[in-house]
Amino acid sequence: MKAPVISRWFGSGDVQILPDVESAVLRSDRFRLERESDWRRLDEIVSQMESGRMRRISDEDLLALPVLYRTAASSLSVARETSLDRATLEYLESLVQRAWFQVYGPRQGLWTWLRGFLLGGWSRAVREIWLDICIALAVMVAGTVVGWLLVALDSEWFFALVPAQMAGGRVPGASREQLLETLAVHDNSNGLSVFAASLFSNNAGVSILAFALGFAFGIPSLLLLVHNMALLGAMLWVFSGQGLTLEFSAWLSVHGTTELFAILLAGAAGLHIGRSMAFPGDRSVLVAAQQSGRRAAVVMAGVVMMLVVAAFLEAFPRQLVAGTMDRLLIGGTLLALWLAYFFAYRPRPTGEST
């Protein structure tokens, strides 16, 4: 778009332009003429960038781009305040909007971002919060032990830890046959699928909350991990009492190695933000939260994907595979793949931001 050319007609005969109108027109002309060269230069640079002709842009123009953008934005602000002519105002609004996308807009499309995310960005962000992962893992193990011990001391704790809709027939005092029935493959949507849906809903909620509450120095995130894993510890105690620890672990591993890993990463991401705010070092608290938040957001984007994968595993493989060893093979393979991706797969950085 070219800069507008403002024409004036001063009238003839009995028609005269009012002095204040003529003054406004002259002021608009003077404002445009004083800045028009910068606008045209910015327009040319932006047009070349929009057409993909980056190589034709000189280093001098690239360095001048942010300054020219701020100058145009300032001109737009003045134009709005002083009610300059409509043509100049519309031109500046369009120019500033186009320049903003070139200066501050995203540098890559969705598929480019996704490729960089999956081929190094996500795994690198996970490795960068390794200390928080270790802390969250220790807390999850401790939560499982706490849940086991509480129910072992008093079976009434089971009903305080495990929601009724998730328990079903998996309660203290259930026979071995009853518990095995809850682990069997069912042809209908009752029983196991109800528990699977409840478990997934619970774990997805825990993952989101564990991350969202990280700003409170990570303490709520850790408490959520303890409570969620205490539920697992209580359930393990029930099946262990009937000698079904391996069968229950195999049944859970099909989706659990993915789902529990997602919870671990979500809790670690929340803890990472909270720990950075509590111990910012030489940075301000705001800067520390901003930097850790960007890294944790990359981790959480992957957690969402893991939860989707876990939902698929709950809906199909776990409902169709009946053998204990087959279930363990699926769960163990998935766990090995996740560990290899996060900690063994280390591609050379390509410059994408995490």
CA atoms within 13 A on the CB side of 262: 26
CA distance 353 to 351: 6
Tokens representing 8 are 């004036």
**Counting runs of H as helices and runs of E as strands, what totals does the chain give?**
15, 0
CA distance 297 to 34: 45
pLDDT of 12 reads 46
Tokens representing 122 are 């996500």
pLDDT tens for each residue of the chain, 354 residues long: 545 544 444 444 444 444 555 555 556 677 778 888 888 888 998 888 877 777 788 888 888 888 888 888 888 888 777 766 777 788 888 888 888 877 776 656 667 778 888 998 999 999 999 999 999 999 999 999 999 999 999 999 999 998 887 777 889 989 999 998 888 876 544 445 555 566 667 677 888 888 888 888 889 899 999 998 999 999 999 999 999 999 999 999 998 999 999 999 999 999 999 999 999 988 888 888 888 999 999 999 999 899 888 888 877 776 678 788 999 999 999 999 999 999 999 887 654 443
pLDDT of 184 reads 80
Q: Give the E-state strand segments of the chain in sequence order.
A: none
The number of beta carbons lying within 10 Å of the beta carbon of residue 160 is: 12
Tokens representing 244 are 């079904």
Q: What pTM does this model have?
A: 0.68
Q: Which residues contact 65 (CB under 8 A, 6 or more apart)?
A: 42, 45, 99, 102, 103
pLDDT of 23 reads 57
Packing angle of the helix pair 176-183, 192-212 (nearest 10 deg): 70
First to last CA, the chain: 36
The residue ranges of every structural domain in the chain are 19-103, 111-344
CA distance 261 to 178: 29
